[in-house]
A and B are shown apart, each in its own frame.
Chain A
Amino acid sequence: MNQSEFIKTITPFKDRLFRLAKRLLVSTEEAEDATQEVLVRLWNNREKLKSYSSVEALAVTITKNYCLDQLKSKRATEMRIVHSNYSDRQAGLLQQAEDRDSWDWVEKIIDRLPEQQKLIVQLRDIEEYEFEEIAKIMDMNETAVRVALSRARKTIREELKKLHSYGIKAN
């Protein structure tokens, strides 16, 4: 596999890898580094890529594992990820600003989910993978994926409900 062939293979999904990495690592810079690292790893093993049925699933799996490793080593050294991605508001229509604000809330809520649920929400609701693919990537069975996803979606719903009725109802 030469360079242009490789680039043709990775172009359709490299943004997805980045978004997945960002979901887990939160910081844009770290997500970029992680994506780069994963793509370089794929490139170094480019001769073996043909034996995989889906390079994309492989890449997603590598990204997932790499990011989880990164998080683990971070926790071991007691470092906290510093990020400032939330507050990127631009002047605009009131509705737009409000929307962006509430999207930030959704992002924060997802950020608080357990890693497994975070990954599944990312893969299903944002990247729109089929359950079968997610099960393969996550190394889980489909039922377990559905259960985890349902749990995650309900958590998001409950948190949003709380926000929505904030100030109206006493807790």
Chain B
Amino acid sequence: MELKQIENLLDKYFESETSIAEERELKAYFASQDVAPHLEQYRPMFGYFPQSGTQQFSKTVPLKPGKQKKYVAWLSVAASVVVLFGMFTFFNNSRPSAGQELGTYNDPEVAFRETQKALDMLSKNVNTGVNSMEYIHKYEETRTTIFKH
């Protein structure tokens, strides 16, 4: 190609008025062996562009089917409903059954006797504890007799 033409194209190129086809011509010219010496400075530029366009994306893209997301969301909703329902039934059933087993008396006489019996048992157990404390008095007595003199 004539040098004049290339120079013209270059002028247009730097004003961004060249078409893609004309830019390809320039790239082809600068890729050839005989570049005019005064245009040598443009060679790296037009050599770089095609070379830079050869890089490739080598990584694979993880393409998960998108429906899985919705499925997981619904699964968690279902799970929480089950847990809530379980807690509700558990508390509803366990409370009345515990209350029923305590038992009650209808006759006040019987109730009185039973209460006395229960209190008796309680005081007896308390007294066994007190009995074992009895001999502390003895210890106290001996201490006073020793330290008085």
Question: In the complex, what residues of B have CB within 8 A of residue A146's CB?
Answer: 15-17
The complex places the Cα of A44 from the Cα of B65 at a distance, in Å, of: 8
Dominant SS among interface residues on chain B: helix
Residues of B within 8 A of A (CB): 13-17, 20, 23-24, 40-45, 47-53, 55-59, 61-63, 66
9 residue pairs from A and B, CB less than 8 Å apart: A6-B63, A18-B57, A19-B55, A32-B59, A35-B59, A43-B61, A128-B20, A145-B16, A161-B41
B81 to chain A, nearest CB (A): 28
User: CB-nearest residue of chain A relative to B58?
Assistant: A32
Contact with B along A118-137 (1 / 0, CB 8 A): 00000011111010000000
B101 to chain A, nearest CB (A): 59
Residues of A within 8 A of B (CB): 3, 6-7, 10, 14-15, 17-19, 22, 32, 35-36, 39-40, 43-44, 46, 99, 102-103, 105-107, 124-128, 130, 145-147, 149-150, 153-154, 156-157, 160-161, 164
List 5 other contacts, CB 8 Å, given A18-B57, A32-B59, A128-B24: A102-B43, A102-B48, A103-B51, A146-B16, A149-B16
- Of B45, B51, B52, B63, which contacts A160 at CB under 8 A? B45
Q: Judge whether B53 and A19 touch: CB under 8 Å.
A: yes
**CB-CB under 8 A for A99 and B47, given A32-B57, A32-B59, A43-B61:** yes
The complex places the Cα of A46 from the Cα of B104 at a distance, in Å, of: 71
A11 to chain B, nearest CB (A): 10
Going nearest first, the 5 A-B pairs with the smallest beta carbon separation are A102-B44, A18-B57, A106-B48, A146-B16, A150-B16
